[in-house]
Chain A
Amino acid sequence: MAHKRGIRLTRADRIFHASVNASLLAILAILVVPIWSTITLSFRPNDFIGSALDGMLLAPWRWSTAAYEALLGHRAFLTSVFNSFRIFCQGVATALFLTVPLAYMLSIKTLPGRKLLYGLVLVPYLFNVGLVPNYLLVTKLGLVNTLAAVYMPGAISVYNTLIMKSFFEGIPEELKESARIDGASELTVLLRIILPLSKPILLTIGLYYGVHFWNDFFNAMLYINDNKLQPLPILLRNILLSSGMNEYVEVNAFGEAPIAAIKAASVFLAAIPMLAAYPFIQKYFVKGTMLGSVKG
């Protein structure tokens, strides 16, 4: 590297690069150790004796999948996974269906009343009245004990709308104008010209919504008390907060694996869909986030 540039690295520069690399290695360790310890904990066999440190270094051929078998063979767990999956799909579809037209409308600079509409969207974002007024609305609408109660209150995020609006504004005006001159309706412009060019932003915003709905336990805790409709985070929370085998019936029903392994395995399973989608979408969200942060 130094030779290529034709400049010799001084001693101070070498120390600099060594400390940069050492810092990043330390950060890497700080990131890896907690995740690794949770993963190995989930594979810990029932007859394991030793400290957590030993457990982290346990050879993979001694790992036990009892915790996973117990969870995946348990009806309550599978039901909650299914509920979360439905919330995810319905939620992302609803959120994009509502967010895209709003963002598109705000992105049209010649639109009469654009300032007014922009203000209308911004006010609730800047002025948050809090939990109870929203709670009264959702209960009044009869959404209690429906999956919609989990995603409907957050189906338009103003932040996401503004990011999407910035993206739409970046699409060259000539493309839209030429279609309009050819007599295309606004719907056609949106569907045929804007959306095909907007795949990165649709994926990014879809991911934001999806992660939010998949992770949400608060709305589910507020509005869902029917056990059959419980999403995964609620079940996880119940499993995690039970400290002993007998305290929580659901945990007791899981059988042969250590309770700590059950806890770790359940969150690992809950994180898998996200971990699977993550590398695929990573390149988009960095772009999307930068766009949102630079333009607002």
Chain B
Amino acid sequence: MKAATGELKSRLARHKSVYLLASVSLAYFLLFKYVPIWNAQIAFRDFQALDGVLRSPWVGLKNFSDFVNSYYFWELIRNTVFYSVFKMLFSVPAAIFLSVALYECRIFVLRKSVQTLAYLPHFLSWVIMYAILLAILSPSNGILNDIIKLLGGEPVPFLTDAKAFPWIVLLSDTWKEMGWSAIIFLAALIGIDPSLFEAATVEGASAWQRVFKITLPSIRPVIVMVVLLRLGTILDAGFNQIFMLYSLPVYSVADIIDTWIYRQGILEFRFGLATAVGLFKGVFGLALIAISNRLIRKYTDSGLY
């Protein structure tokens, strides 16, 4: 026992400089990551800015019940889950398709230029994306509407049309993130043992058979992992995108939990309510991540933490 504490002491002494080195980062971390967790208690209070966090009166679960009973509750849950699930259903297959096509392509110039251009939009902000979308979708001078007019149709105000809006959100997200999401699949593809393909070719398998019998099954663990990781963040439907693209006429199909939190909390000053919704989302998200991590451990051989 004594020897153990002595050993621990010497290990601590040996690493003193490491703790010292990281102390500023740790102090930052406590201040910027843990104080907000402490502040989250106002979800259970009737927060008054003048009283501060600790002196605002407790109200129990009132903020939570206000949210669950509000007219918007189911609409927000529906929109949020819809966007995150369908974004996954659009962008994961697109990314798999793109990575397999890049992997099979024998023309270096084509492969390189698609790769370079496909990663690029990931680095563009949604403010910039909005301008690009305007150039395509604007009723007065967008290309898509030009084509519609050429074909004799009426121009469609895509961004303010409740029918078109969800498509714009899903397709623009796919366009922006497809290449970036393909990187992880490409990494998995490069790791496939080439002797598998040689053996298949000798056996007389066609290129199509190689893709469906070797390539795709080989990256299945990665696909499962990506899908499960996305399921863990199902309540994050992409604030920046929706916030940049939406407007009053499409609120009913566009509003997600995060945009609602922003409007209630920052614009309407309903801090308690907005925090309660944020906390609801945080707790639910934590549970989902725990579940998806357990499933990842079960179906693949690695975990998130």
Interface residue? A170 (CB, 8 A): no
Closest to A94 in B: B28
CA distance A119 to B118 in the complex (A): 36
Q: Which residues of B contact A59 (CB under 8 A)?
A: none
CB pair B143–A17 under 8 Å, yes or no, is no
Total A residues in contact with B, Cβ cutoff 8 Å: 95
Of A16, A20, A28, A33, the contact of B206 (CB 8 Å cutoff): A16
Closest to A293 in B: B184
Interface residue? B252 (CB, 8 A): no
Q: Which residues of B contact A134 (CB under 8 A)?
A: 36, 39
Total B residues in contact with A, Cβ cutoff 8 Å: 101
By CB atoms of chain B within 10 A, which of A7, A16, A97 has the most? A16
Q: Which residues of A contact B65 (CB under 8 A)?
A: none
Q: How far is the CB of A204 from chain B (nearest CB, A)?
A: 12
Interface residue? B1 (CB, 8 A): no
CB pair B107–A128 under 8 Å, yes or no, is no
Q: How far is the CB of A89 from chain B (nearest CB, A)?
A: 18
Interface residue? B89 (CB, 8 A): no
Q: How far is the CB of A143 from chain B (nearest CB, A)?
A: 11
Q: Which residues of B contact A23 (CB under 8 A)?
A: 97, 101
Q: How far is the CB of B160 from chain A (nearest CB, A)?
A: 11
Q: Which residues of A contact B303 (CB under 8 A)?
A: 296
CB pair B305–A290 under 8 Å, yes or no, is no
Closest to B103 in A: A20
Q: Which of A66-74, A75-83, A150-158, A246-254 contacts B (4 or more CB under 8 A)?
A: A150-158
Interface residue? B42 (CB, 8 A): yes
CB pair B143–A290 under 8 Å, yes or no, is no
CB pair A264–B131 under 8 Å, yes or no, is yes
CB pair B116–A130 under 8 Å, yes or no, is no
Of B19, B37, B118, the contact of A133 (CB 8 Å cutoff): B37
CB pair A133–B132 under 8 Å, yes or no, is no
CB pair A52–B123 under 8 Å, yes or no, is no
CB pair B111–A24 under 8 Å, yes or no, is yes
CB pair B39–A133 under 8 Å, yes or no, is yes
Interface residue? A201 (CB, 8 A): no
CB pair B21–A104 under 8 Å, yes or no, is yes
Segment 223-264 of B: residues with Cβ below 8 Å from A: 239-240, 243-244, 258, 261-262
Interface residue? B59 (CB, 8 A): no
CB pair B17–A187 under 8 Å, yes or no, is yes
CA distance A77 to B125 in the complex (A): 18
CB pair A186–B15 under 8 Å, yes or no, is yes
CB pair B127–A236 under 8 Å, yes or no, is yes
CA distance A51 to B146 in the complex (A): 6
Closest to A214 in B: B125
Interface residue? A175 (CB, 8 A): no
Q: Which residues of B contact A112 (CB under 8 A)?
A: 8, 11-12, 15
CB pair A131–B22 under 8 Å, yes or no, is no
CB pair A27–B114 under 8 Å, yes or no, is yes
Interface residue? B74 (CB, 8 A): no
CB pair B37–A278 under 8 Å, yes or no, is no
CB pair A236–B128 under 8 Å, yes or no, is yes
Q: Which residues of B contact A33 (CB under 8 A)?
A: 136, 143
Q: Which residues of B contact A17 (CB under 8 A)?
A: 104, 106, 207
CB pair B282–A129 under 8 Å, yes or no, is yes
Of A13, A186, A216, A263, the contact of B134 (CB 8 Å cutoff): A263
A-B contact pairs, 17 of them (CB 8 A): A12-B208, A34-B175, A52-B146, A53-B150, A112-B15, A123-B37, A124-B34, A129-B37, A130-B40, A130-B277, A132-B42, A133-B36, A133-B275, A186-B18, A233-B125, A236-B127, A282-B119
- Known: A13-B206, A136-B36; 20 extra A-B contacts, CB below 8 A, are A16-B104, A53-B150, A98-B25, A108-B15, A108-B18, A111-B15, A126-B285, A126-B305, A128-B281, A129-B36, A130-B279, A131-B274, A136-B42, A186-B18, A187-B21, A218-B240, A240-B130, A270-B128, A289-B183, A296-B302
Which residues of chain A have a CB within 8 Å of any CB of chain B?
1, 7, 10, 12-13, 16-17, 20-21, 23-25, 27-28, 30-35, 37-38, 41, 51-53, 55-56, 97-99, 101-102, 104-105, 108, 110-112, 117, 120-124, 126-137, 152-153, 155-156, 185-187, 190, 211, 214-218, 222, 233, 236-237, 240, 260, 263-264, 266-267, 270-271, 274-275, 278-279, 282, 285-286, 289-290, 293-294, 296
